[in-house]
Amino acid sequence: MTKEELIKGIKTGDPRSLSKAITLAESSLDSKQEVALQIIEHFGPQKDTLRIGVTGAPGVGKSTFIEAVGVEILKDPTKKIAVLSIDPSSEVSQGSILGDKTRMNKLSSMDAAYIRPSASGNNLGGVSKNTRLAILLCEAAGYNTIFIESVGVGQNETEIAKLSDLFVLLISPGGGDELQGIKRGIMEVADIIVVNKADGNNKSQAQVTAKEYSMALNLKPKNENNWTPKVVVVSAHKRQGIQPLIEKCLDYNKHIKNHWKQNNRKEQMKYWTKKNIEYLLLSKIDQYSDTIESSIENGVLPERLAKNILE
């Protein structure tokens, strides 16, 4: 498909055109990514959208949670949902399973939903290096609620906060005491903490965990947006507690509807500009392989060698 055909398809909300454009954005070939950039530039920024980052340890139920929330949100006919799920890549083969779409059977069958799994590649932080471009393409196609589901690797996985307006952290019942709750890192950037799997024998433990995290959050300062993080108990599997959670998300969206939301996105763009400069510099490092090899053999310090190359 040509660039013009992709633009026309995205305008009409054609999922096939959107998928092809995202594939171009994820390509390692400059020529293909350039087409994706031109498509994004054609549409420009879409302001009336909400980007929700979702993370949590493996097995906490992120996919089930997103499906439960997504199905509930789509009861509103004005909403369209895109889910960008990031799967971990093997360090050996670089392959990924990309199975999130099969775990969201009900949501994936709905016309107003679009699910796109992508591989994390070599990127750290729980997201793919071109996830931001995929977000912009989904917004151009008319999806006004974007879920970004991260790999889910641990407490240092904060880069997803650089992509989202609302950052949701999922934890399991018994997922930690108050001391665990105030650890630096991922807890400091969460806007809503969700204690999932609050059903069966876990129900009472989930309430205890939620109380512990609520007490811990009282010990930390408010987030930069002056929002006090909330703790919500849900059972995504049983579809319980979903509507109160959505109400908290709507409250948050109203809270940031002032200049903070747009200013935050500008700050995120500055971050990704620097990040892309790093990517481009690293992509050129192979041309210095011989210089690095010979200089190391001659006893040049790595720190000195790096400075010489950049100069």
> Which of 90-104, 179-193, 239-253 is the most confident on average?
239-253
> Which of 91-95, 130-134, 140-144 is the most confident on average?
140-144
Contact 7, 39 (CB under 8 A): yes
| Residues 6+ away with beta carbon under 8 Å from 219 | 182
Domain match, 246 and 282 both: no
Using one digit for the tens of pLDDT, what is the confidence trace for 280-300? 888 888 888 888 999 999 999
* Alpha-carbon gap, residue 287 to 213, rounded angstroms: 50
pLDDT greater than 70 at residue 220 = yes
Domain that holds residue 297: 273-310
In a domain, 26, yes or no: no
Domain match, 302 and 179 both: no
Domain match, 238 and 306 both: no
pLDDT greater than 60 at residue 154 = no
Structure tokens at 48: 């009336």
Domain match, 146 and 218 both: yes
In a domain, 207, yes or no: yes
Structure tokens at 15: 């999922």
* Alpha-carbon gap, residue 117 to 193, rounded angstroms: 24
In a domain, 190, yes or no: yes
* Alpha-carbon gap, residue 33 to 30, rounded angstroms: 5
* Alpha-carbon gap, residue 85 to 128, rounded angstroms: 9
Split at pLDDT 50, 70, 90, the class of 127 is: low
Contact 180, 116 (CB under 8 A): no
pLDDT greater than 60 at residue 73 = yes
pLDDT, mean over the chain? 85
pLDDT of residue 153: 53
In a domain, 8, yes or no: no
- Paired with 1 in beta bridges are none
Domain match, 277 and 255 both: no
In a domain, 37, yes or no: no
* Alpha-carbon gap, residue 101 to 67, rounded angstroms: 10
> Which of 69-73, 295-299, 301-305 is the most confident on average?
69-73
pLDDT of residue 150: 85
Domain match, 59 and 197 both: yes
Residue 3 vs residues 122, 143, 276: alpha-carbon distances, Å: 28, 20, 23
Domain match, 215 and 291 both: no
Domain match, 124 and 228 both: yes
DSSP 103: T
Name the percent of the chain lying above pLDDT 70.
Answer: 86
pLDDT of residue 310: 81
Using one digit for the tens of pLDDT, what is the confidence trace for 27-48? 888 899 999 999 999 999 888 8
pLDDT of residue 157: 60
Concatenating the DSSP letter of every residue in 181-246 gives HT-SSHHHH-SEEEE---SGGGHHHHHHHHHHHHHHHTTSPPPTTSPPPEEEE-BTTTTBSHHHHH
Helix (H, G, I), strand (E, B) or coil at 171: strand
* Alpha-carbon gap, residue 154 to 151, rounded angstroms: 9
Using one digit for the tens of pLDDT, what is the confidence trace for 47-59? 889 999 998 888 8
pLDDT greater than 80 at residue 21 = yes
pLDDT of residue 260: 86
Indicate the number of domains in the chain.
Answer: 2
Contact 34, 27 (CB under 8 A): no
Domain match, 105 and 56 both: yes
In a domain, 78, yes or no: yes
Distinct helix (H) and strand (E) counts, the chain: 13, 7
What value does the mean pLDDT take over residues 254-263?
85
Would the pTM count as exceeding 0.75?
Answer: yes
Split at pLDDT 50, 70, 90, the class of 88 is: low
In a domain, 253, yes or no: yes
List the single range of 61-75, 125-139, 189-203, 243-257 with lowest mean pLDDT: 125-139
